[in-house]
Amino acid sequence: MAWHTTWNEPPRRPRRSFFTDRGGFLPPGVKLVLFACIAVFFLEIFYAGPLMRWGALSVRGLMHFQAWRLVSYMFLHGSADHIIINMFVFVMLGVAFERQIGTRQFLWLYFAAGVIGGLFEVAFNLLMYWRYGSAALNTTGETFLTLPAVGASAGVAGILIAFAVLNPRAEFLLFFLIPIQARWIALFYVLIETRHVVLGLTHGWTDNVAHAAHFGGMAVGFVWIKFGPLIASGLSRLAGESRVRNEVRPGWRRSDDEAEVDRILRKIHEEGIDSLTPGERMLLQDASRRRGR
C-alpha cells in the first residue's frame, strides 16, 4: 500500500501577499506610501540638495529623459507642514477607501494620479514659458523650465475626488465641528484648483503651488471611478478575444467564461479578494448577474 504524506498534513494556508489586508489601522497600500514619504522626508534633513536635484519634477528634467522624476517627486516635500497636510488627508481618506476598492487598485489610482498630474504640471509650465517668457517673475523664461515640483498632492487629489465620486454623501467634520459631505468638499477643491490654473494661463503667475498637478490628479480620480471599470472590462474582453483568436482550433468551442471564473475564484482563495484587478471584478459581477437570472 502506497503512503501519501499529504493524508496527515493540515490543509495548506492560502498564500498572503503584500496586497493582502491583515487588519489593523493601516491597510498595506496606505502604509507603504505613508512610511516611504516619511522616510524620504527624514533623508531630506541631511541630503535635501542632492535629493531635490535628483528627484524633483521639472520640464528640463523630462527634456533630458529623466522619466523617474514623474514618480520620485511624489515622495519629496518642501517642508514639514507640506508633508503633514498631504499625509493627513491621505490617511484620513485612504484607510477607508483602500478597503473599499482593494489595495492594488488603490495604489494604481494613487500613482496614476501622481504621474499624470506631474505631466499636467510640466505641460502647464511649458505653456507659461511660451506665453510669458521673461515677463513672469521679472526673470528669464528659463524659470519655468527648471521650476521644481515636489509633493504627494497630485496623488492625494486623485484619491480625494475618487472617494467623493464613489461616496458622495460621506460626511466629514470641517474644522472638527461643521458636518459637510464629501461631494461638496470635492466640488470646492475642483473650483479652487481650476481657478488657479485658468488665472495662471490668462493673467500670469499666481503662487508657488503646483495647481496644474492637482488638477491632473483630480481628473484621473474622476475618470478612474466613473469609467475605469468599463475601460478595464473592455480591455480584458479585447485581450480575451485576442487570446481565443490565437488559440482557436477546428472543432474547438469557447466556454462561457467558466474557466476564467474558476481561475479568479482560485486567485481569491490563494491571494485574497484585494488581489483582483478591476477587469476580474467586473467579470465576476457579470457571471454572478447571469447566474442570478
Separation between Cα atoms, residue 282 and residue 285, nearest integer Å: 5
Does the structure show a pLDDT above 70 at 243? no
Domain ranges in the chain are 28-229, 254-292
Name the band, by pLDDT with cuts 50, 70 and 90, for residue 251. very low
Each residue of 180-218: pLDDT tens digit?
999 999 999 999 999 999 998 888 766 788 999 999 999
103-132 helix and 182-203 helix, angle to the nearest 10 degrees: 20
CATH superfamily to which 28-229 belongs: Rhomboid-like (1.20.1540.10)
pLDDT at 266: 78
Query: What's the rounded mean pLDDT across residues 239-256?
Result: 45
Separation between Cα atoms, residue 39 and residue 116, nearest integer Å: 24
Does the structure show a pLDDT above 80 at 245? no
pLDDT at 260: 75
DSSP state letters, 159-193: HHHHHHHH-TT-EEEETTTEEEEHHHHHHHHHHHH
Each residue of 114-130: pLDDT tens digit?
999 999 999 999 998 88
Q: DSSP 3-state assignment of 37?
A: helix
pLDDT at 37: 97
pLDDT at 277: 72
